[in-house]
Amino acid sequence: MTTHLPPSAGTIERLTAADRAHLLEAIRLSSVSRAEGRHPFAALVVSGDGAVVASAGNNSLPPEGDPTQHAELRAVAAAARVLSPEEMNRATMFTSAEPCAMCSGAVYWTGISRVVYALSEHRLLELTGDHPENPTFSLPCREVFARGQRDIEVVGPLLEDEAAIAHEGFWV
């Protein structure tokens, strides 16, 4: 069963030092994405033994981007190409923002068993408003995962203020 924690229950104390470092790396990569002219999102997949096996920024902006190429989807797809299903089940995705419904589906179908995210969908909506390039769903990833047939642990939101920096002034 999916871990159901209210957003306030996801505190930085729930993370190991390695978890915190991976989450901070996802946040750092979201700034890199922005600096490259892309939406400020990033994700990485870490194997059960702690190795980063995939990382990705967002690549959904036209003209060369693809609207389905969110950072989380790109990272889990890359990880699924190098990890066995059993290894994917022991992996964690760290992401600068809560996975959207599409990315939550990708996490589910690739077998990831744990998601740690920084910026909540609610806080992201406050930053993006009704910007046409980020029409957010009001659908927390926990709700998507709760409809599935296997357990996915969710930890977050965490470090929201740090994650919000890459979005400041971007969605105007």
**Is residue 102 a part of any domain in this protein?**
yes
In a domain, 9, yes or no: no
State how many domains the chain has. Answer: 1
Closest CA to 44 of 24, 61, 15: 24
Identify the pLDDT of residue 8.
39
15 inside domain: no
Least Cα distance to 119 among 57, 69, 165 occurs for 165
Give pLDDT tens digits along the chain (172 positions). Answer: 344 334 434 445 568 999 999 999 999 999 999 999 899 999 999 999 999 999 999 987 766 778 888 999 999 999 999 999 999 999 999 999 999 999 999 999 999 999 999 999 888 888 777 776 666 777 899 999 999 999 999 999 999 999 999 999 998 8
Q: Which of 71, 73, 78, 79 is nearest to 36 (CA)?
A: 71
CB 43 within 8 A of CB 95: yes
Confirm whether 67 is domain-assigned. yes
Active site residue 153: no
Whether 123 maps to a domain, the answer reads yes
CATH code: domain of residue 82: 3.40.140.10
| C-alpha 45 chain-centroid distance | 10
Determine the structural domain holding residue 160 and report its residue range. Answer: 36-167
Question: Which of 13, 72, 98, 133 is flagged as catalytic?
Answer: 72
**Please, are residues 39 and 67 in contact by the beta-carbon 8 Å criterion?**
no
